[in-house]
């Protein structure tokens, strides 16, 4: 359904764009219908950049992204984009920023109506709204006709998912959607994602939190400095991490705040024994993977 092939993103930075920042390096992955794929990595590892490229919000500098066979980077014109967003939607970390505080929260539904369902009757539209609000397990009386400040972060986040469900979505890009929620609401939203998966949606679930990635996903992709360090069935990756970086991450989940320098020092002191990682020549910006066991890949060791 969604396929990324050798995707790179290099940002121009600094005065006059003189410098470059390699945010994504040679990433290839797929998301199939009904599959949750977690994209896991520290802050700055390129997760959001990948999500934005999938959503057509920024273009890869190299590589291709296809959705149901169509090249996402070549969506030209309003009509093609609109059609794409009928099937692919994103939900982001801070739900409050997606709502205009001076309008009622359900205005986000009206915007979908105007763009995609201009001819629908009021009654049919209301039935559709009630249906999606129920799907995200919200009580319409609690959330409709309210201002954003009257709702919790979890309710707003679920309204945004409901908005996506008004369309015929097949892929949801969920970028850190639970990191600002409290613990009990997080579980509700994760259960909701599990429901959506049951309905055949593909979900790219972006997170910096390893324990949550484990909870929902079929496959996990561990990203380090823009490149894939390890990718495979979530259970295999979590039970048998092969890349030194994944091993490190999993061995010290409560210590994710440690600095790169500390992580690098520890990795250097504890080299992997049994897994042969792919290597690239100096100056080569590819990031090859090797298949260590079926469907379970390891990448280069970037220092």
C-beta of 40 vs 105, nearer to ligand ADP: 40
Q: Tell whether residue 117 is a contact of ligand ADP (CB under 6 A).
A: no
| Residue count, binding to ligand ADP (CB under 6 A) | 12
Which region, judged by CB under 6 A, interacts with ligand ADP, from 38-46, 100-108, 122-130, 133-141?
38-46
Q: How is residue 205 written in tokens?
A: 């679930």
Looking up tokens 């919200």 gives 138
Which region, judged by CB under 6 A, interacts with ligand ADP, from 45-53, 81-89, 137-145, 241-249?
45-53
CB 53 within 8 A of CB 65: yes
Least Å distance between CB 38 and ligand ADP? Answer: 13
Q: Tell whether residue 57 is a contact of ligand ADP (CB under 6 A).
A: no
C-beta of 45 vs 138, nearer to Mg ion: 45
Residue 41 contact partner, candidates ligand ADP, Mg ion, none, CB within 5 to 8 A by sort of partner: ligand ADP
**31, 37, 38, 41: which one binds ligand ADP (CB under 6 A):** 41
Q: How is residue 151 written in tokens?
A: 């709702």
Q: Tell whether residue 60 is a contact of ligand ADP (CB under 6 A).
A: no
**Can you tell me the distance from the alpha carbon of 25 to that of 286, in angstroms, rounded to the nearest whole number?**
7
Least Å distance between CB 45 and ligand ADP? Answer: 4
Question: Is 280 buried (19+), middle (13-18) or exposed (0-12) by CB count in 10 A?
Answer: middle
Residues that bind Mg ion (CB under 5 A): 48
**4, 23, 151, 166: which one binds ligand ADP (CB under 6 A):** 23
Q: Tell whether residue 38 is a contact of ligand ADP (CB under 6 A).
A: no
Length of the chain as a residue count: 303
Q: Tell whether residue 256 is a contact of ligand ADP (CB under 6 A).
A: no
Least Å distance between CB 42 and ligand ADP? Answer: 7
C-beta of 12 vs 149, nearer to ligand ADP: 12
Measured CA angle at 272 (ends 252, 260), to 5 deg: 45
**Can you tell me the distance from the alpha carbon of 264 to that of 267, in angstroms, rounded to the nearest whole number?**
5
Q: Tell whether residue 13 is a contact of ligand ADP (CB under 6 A).
A: yes
Q: Tell whether residue 47 is a contact of ligand ADP (CB under 6 A).
A: yes
Q: Tell whether residue 61 is a contact of ligand ADP (CB under 6 A).
A: no
Residues 193-252 that bind ligand ADP (CB under 6 A): none
Q: Tell whether residue 49 is a contact of ligand ADP (CB under 6 A).
A: yes
Q: Tell whether residue 48 is a contact of ligand ADP (CB under 6 A).
A: yes
C-beta of 50 vs 105, nearer to Mg ion: 50
Residues lying near ligand ADP in the complex (CB under 6 A) are found at 11, 13, 21, 23, 41, 43-49
């Amino acid at each position: 359904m969604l396929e990324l092939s050798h995707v790179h993103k290099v940002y121009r930075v600094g005065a006059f764009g003189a410098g470059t920042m390699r945010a994504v390096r040679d990433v290839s992955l797929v998301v199939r219908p009904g599959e949750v794929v977690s994209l896991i990595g520290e802050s700055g590892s390129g997760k959001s950049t990948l999500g934005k490229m999938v959503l057509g919000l920024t273009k890869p500098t190299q590589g291709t992204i296809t959705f149901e066979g169509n090249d996402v980077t070549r969506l030209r014109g309003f009509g093609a984009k609109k059609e794409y967003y009928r099937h692919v939607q994103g939900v982001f970390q801070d739900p409050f920023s997606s709502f205009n505080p001076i309008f009622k929260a359900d205005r986000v539904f009206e915007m979908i109506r105007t763009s995609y369902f201009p001819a629908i009757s009021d009654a049919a539209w209301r039935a559709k709204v009630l249906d999606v609000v129920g799907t995200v397990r919200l009580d319409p009386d609690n959330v409709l006709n309210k201002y954003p400040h009257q709702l919790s972060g979890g309710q707003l986040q679920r309204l945004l998912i409901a908005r996506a469900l008004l369309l015929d979505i097949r892929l949801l890009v969920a970028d850190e959607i639970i990191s600002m929620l409290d613990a009990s609401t997080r579980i509700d939203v994760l259960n909701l994602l599990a429901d959506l998966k049951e309905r055949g949606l593909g979900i790219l679930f972006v997170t910096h939190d390893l324990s949550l990635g484990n909870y929902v996903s079929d496959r996990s992709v561990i990203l380090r400095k823009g490149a894939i360090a390890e990718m495979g069935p979530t259970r295999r990756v979590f039970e048998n991490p092969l890349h030194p970086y994944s091993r490190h991450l999993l061995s010290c989940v409560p210590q994710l705040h440690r600095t790169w320098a500390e992580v690098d020092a520890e990795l250097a002191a504890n080299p992997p024994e049994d897994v042969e990682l792919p290597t690239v020549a100096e100056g080569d910006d590819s990031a090859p993977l090797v298949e260590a066991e079926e469907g379970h890949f390891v990448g280069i060791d970037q220092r």
